[in-house]
Structure 1
Amino acid sequence: MRLKDCHNFHDFRRLAEKRLPGPIFNYIDGAADDETTYQRNTDAFDGCDLVPNVLAGVKDVDMSVTVMGQKLAMPIYCSPTALQRLFHHDGELAVAAAAEKFGTMFGVSSLGTVSLAEVRKKHSNPQCYQFYFHKDRGLNKAMMQSAKEAGVEVMMLTVDSITGGNRERDLRTGFSIPFRLSLKGMAQFALKPMWGINYVTHEKFALPQLDDHVDMSAGALSIGRYFTEMLDPSMTWDDVAKMVQEWDGQFCLKGVMSVADAKRAVDIGCTGIVLSNHGGRQLDGSRAPFDQLAEIVDAVGDRIDVIMDSGVQRGTHVLKALSLGAKAVGGGRFYLYPLAAAGQAGVERALGLMRSEIERDMRLMGCKSVSELNRDNLRFRT
């Protein structure tokens, strides 16, 4: 299989699986516990049908949206994810370049492998920073200041990860940073020598958002231990309110799932919320964001930008979310598999296919612009 043979999410996933060592593929592909929420995130869209209108004279389609003050040429963005240079040696730089080409937003994680400043120097499209709240308040302040100085437009505080999810696939392979692999995991790397060659012949792997502040070299600090030992499970709404004031700009909470929490986000001055269960990677058995979208939009959608991620694989998924009132949607695996498969070219192909799907589906729906999408063109099956 080659990149030109990839036509959808599942094709990219298969190509990524062929090219990545097993432990790294399973880090992207896996989720928490029995992975039921991971599956449910996408299945949730299947209970909702689109009802198109015909003869609408759709000559041109405008799929642009404005979310948290950022104008996007398409209503899906590349949600920030960790460790991207493990999947392809260009990592976040490849994603940023592809997102810029398609006029959409991308994100860099606290566990990102390229610095916020480096990405901003090379690319001017909207950038969000997925921030984790550490026990060290001084560290939090320093990292926020670095983001502000780099020119990041949107602070995106992740609030569903005060401890690590039980990702059993990683436990079986021994996946960690630095690598401390099981024998089975090491054998998987031996089967994919090209990945290893690329890994050792390109820039040394690093976590630049943390390198200046945290000693990541002592022992096997797994991703789970990073969450458990360094992040602050006692984080409260008062802590976040102070961050919102300090940032003094577009501030978004990622991982909101209840109406009550959405209302509190409004009260403390957030400009956006992302309905998300972390792609099923944290609390298995939690509700799918799409299933929560309507009631949260009804509660706060006139006062704050409501976004959703988790489970988005198709243009029709995007249209269903927009019809319920989401201002935009985020995707993670939808571009991570293409990144792993072919770097920037893979991400560009994924974004191009998604843009084509959204444009074609809007024509078939009889909608000239995103603003014409509404609940009248949806029906839910019981």
Structure 2
Amino acid sequence: MSLAYNPKYPSIPDLRARARKRIPRFAFEYVDGGCNAEINLRRNTEVIREVQLKPYYLRDYGGISLETELFGHRYSAPFGISPIGLQGLIWPEASEILARAAFESNIPFILSTVATASLEKISEITEGQAWFQLYHPVEEELRDDLLQRLEAAGYNVLVILSDVPTFGYRSKEIKNGLAIPPKMTLRNMLQIAGRPSWAIRTLLAGTPEFKTLKPYIPKGMSLRHLGLFMNKTFSGRLNADRVKALRDRWKGKLVIKGVASEEDARKAIEWGLDGIIVSNHGGRQLDAGEAAITPLTAIAKKFGDQLPVMMDSGIRSGPDIANVMASGADFTFLGRSFMYGVGALGREGGQHTINMLKVQLQQVMEQVCCETPRDLRKHLIGREGSGERGQGSGF
């Protein structure tokens, strides 16, 4: 595998450090922080790195392929880009940069309802290959209009969000005025002045806004009233009726993101979902929750032969991807890691991060003598039976 990346930034921590120097503090802390004391933010990665893999050095080894099939599409690697709101706040046109890099590298990109690029624009960039994450609207009329737009734009995978029934308490965002409604304080303006490259590019690109939602937001609405509008228009709490209505209406693949228990995984299957993304919203919602890999292991073992079980939250490297795949995941997603990449390197950041992660993952797989990502579960140490499930699901 010959993949180019900037050798000055060979890890996600390197990209994070560079991004911190290039973007205003309020923007960096928005993407970097978690809720409350940020305990679960740290726990997510720490527990992933407790996983151990067994190498087999003397077996026949036929070479490596990172390619992974999911929903009938053969992706070039077993990871994709998670949905993040307000991406353009971190770096101008970040959504477009990451969508383009994902498409060119043949990995999935998930667009958030509250991203700063329209669903139509991202579909154009990815030729209809992107996924879309839906914050569930309160009104059926708005829900149906969004679904019609997604269908017209060629989206096939709809991700519904389950783990934001209420907004997380994030003290850094509150201090920085980034809790809805956002505020542009003197402190924030001084931070912008100290990051002239970010400021100039943001000025040229235009103020970040929720472009997918723009048709529904009354013109001339102040920031204060925009916050009230968002709270009134969207409800993050899902139930059987809402999910079943989406299942009846949406003809493509329907995935639920934010599952963190076997009970919810069982309901997802009963309600006809096509896939599960185990996630705790990157530690941004519940500080006292488990690391995402903990329920992932149990859910994959119990339900992995019935539908694809994926995971995000806490993944920061190729070895992390390997550990999550070894623990039973069929696919993985990373959010902050890609935002650090774009914050650090701008337009080159998406491709750099993808290539770097591929190289890191390949090295681990070659080291343990593993030929495909799915076979990583055969190298898992200490979790009896985890490597045996879901061998023939064909997703």
Task: Give the TM-score normalised by the residue count of structure 1.
Answer: 0.93
Q: Which moved more, 1:339-348 or 1:231-240?
A: 231-240
Aligned counterparts of 2:106 and 2:219: Cα–Cα separation in 1: 35
Match of 1:9 among 12, 27, 52: 12
Q: CA deviation at 1:57?
A: 3.8
Match of 1:334 among 332, 337, 350: 337
Question: Are the structure 2 counterparts of residues 361 and 226 from structure 1 closer, same or farther at C-alpha, using a change threshold of 3 Å?
Answer: farther
Letter of the 1:313 counterpart: R
> For residues 139-186 of structure 1, what are the alpha-carbon distances to aligned partners after superposition, in whole Å with 9 as ceiling and x for unaligned?
111111111111112100111112211111011111257751333222
Q: Is the 8 A contact 2:135 2:236 kept in 1?
A: no
Q: Is the 8 A contact 1:176 1:223 kept in 2?
A: no
Match of 1:195 in 2: 198
Question: Are the structure 2 counterparts of residues 290 and 186 from structure 1 closer, same or farther at C-alpha, using a change threshold of 3 Å?
Answer: same
Aligned counterparts of 1:224 and 1:356: Cα–Cα separation in 2: 42
Identical positions, percent? 26
Residues 283-302 of structure 1 aligned to structure 2 (within 5 Å):
283-302=286-305
Does residue 109 in structure 1 map to residue 133 in structure 2? no
Q: Which moved more, 1:145-154 or 1:327-336?
A: 145-154
Letter of the 1:333 counterpart: R
Match of 2:389 in 1: none
Letter of the 2:332 counterpart: V
Does residue 171 in structure 1 map to residue 174 in structure 2? yes
Aligned counterparts of 1:169 and 1:204: Cα–Cα separation in 2: 22
Match of 1:281 in 2: 284
Aligned counterparts of 1:65 and 1:122: Cα–Cα separation in 2: 22
Letter of the 2:194 counterpart: L
Aligned counterparts of 1:227 and 1:52: Cα–Cα separation in 2: 50
Letter of the 2:195 counterpart: K
- Partner-residue secondary structure (3-state), 1:209: coil
Q: CA deviation at 1:86?
A: 1.7
Does residue 186 in structure 1 map to residue 180 in structure 2? no
Match of 1:259 among 262, 268, 276: 262
- Partner-residue secondary structure (3-state), 1:316: helix
Q: Is the 8 A contact 2:79 2:332 kept in 1?
A: yes
Q: Is the 8 A contact 2:170 2:284 kept in 1?
A: yes
Aligned counterparts of 1:109 and 1:221: Cα–Cα separation in 2: 22
Q: CA deviation at 1:69?
A: 3.0
Question: Are the structure 2 counterparts of residues 180 and 152 from structure 1 closer, same or farther at C-alpha, using a change threshold of 3 Å?
Answer: same
Question: Are the structure 2 counterparts of residues 53 and 338 from structure 1 closer, same or farther at C-alpha, using a change threshold of 3 Å?
Answer: same
Match of 1:305 in 2: 308
Q: CA deviation at 1:233?
A: 5.1
Match of 2:375 among 356, 372, 375: 372
Question: Are the structure 2 counterparts of residues 234 and 19 from structure 1 closer, same or farther at C-alpha, using a change threshold of 3 Å?
Answer: closer
- Partner-residue secondary structure (3-state), 2:56: coil
Compute the RMSD of aligned alpha carbons: 2.2
- Partner-residue secondary structure (3-state), 1:373: helix
Q: CA deviation at 1:375?
A: 4.6
Aligned counterparts of 1:298 and 1:127: Cα–Cα separation in 2: 28
Question: Are the structure 2 counterparts of residues 264 and 328 from structure 1 closer, same or farther at C-alpha, using a change threshold of 3 Å?
Answer: same
Q: Is the 8 A contact 1:164 1:227 kept in 2?
A: no
Q: CA deviation at 1:230?
A: 3.0
Question: Are the structure 2 counterparts of residues 218 and 202 from structure 1 closer, same or farther at C-alpha, using a change threshold of 3 Å?
Answer: same
Q: CA deviation at 1:212?
A: 0.6
Match of 1:68 in 2: 71
Q: Is the 8 A contact 2:181 2:227 kept in 1?
A: no
Q: CA deviation at 1:70?
A: 2.9
Does residue 350 in structure 1 map to residue 347 in structure 2? no
- Partner-residue secondary structure (3-state), 2:174: helix
Mark the runs of 5 or more structure 2 residues left unpaired by the alignment: 384-395
Q: Number of residues paired by the alignment?
A: 380
Match of 1:22 in 2: 25
- Partner-residue secondary structure (3-state), 1:97: helix
> For residues 329-380 of structure 1, what are the alpha-carbon distances to aligned partners after superposition, in whole Å with 9 as ceiling and x for unaligned?
0000110011111223111111111000111111111111123222553236
Aligned counterparts of 1:222 and 1:53: Cα–Cα separation in 2: 60
Q: CA deviation at 1:217?
A: 5.0
Q: Is the 8 A contact 2:116 2:210 kept in 1?
A: yes
Does residue 134 in structure 1 map to residue 137 in structure 2? yes
Aligned counterparts of 1:234 and 1:314: Cα–Cα separation in 2: 32
- Partner-residue secondary structure (3-state), 2:37: coil
Q: Which moved more, 1:220-229 or 1:138-147?
A: 220-229
Mark the runs of 5 or more structure 1 residues left unpaired by the alignment: none
- Partner-residue secondary structure (3-state), 2:197: helix
Does residue 211 in structure 1 map to residue 214 in structure 2? yes
Aligned counterparts of 1:174 and 1:371: Cα–Cα separation in 2: 44
Q: CA deviation at 1:124?
A: 3.1
Question: Are the structure 2 counterparts of residues 52 and 156 from structure 1 closer, same or farther at C-alpha, using a change threshold of 3 Å?
Answer: same
Q: CA deviation at 1:6?
A: 0.6
Q: CA deviation at 1:218?
A: 2.7
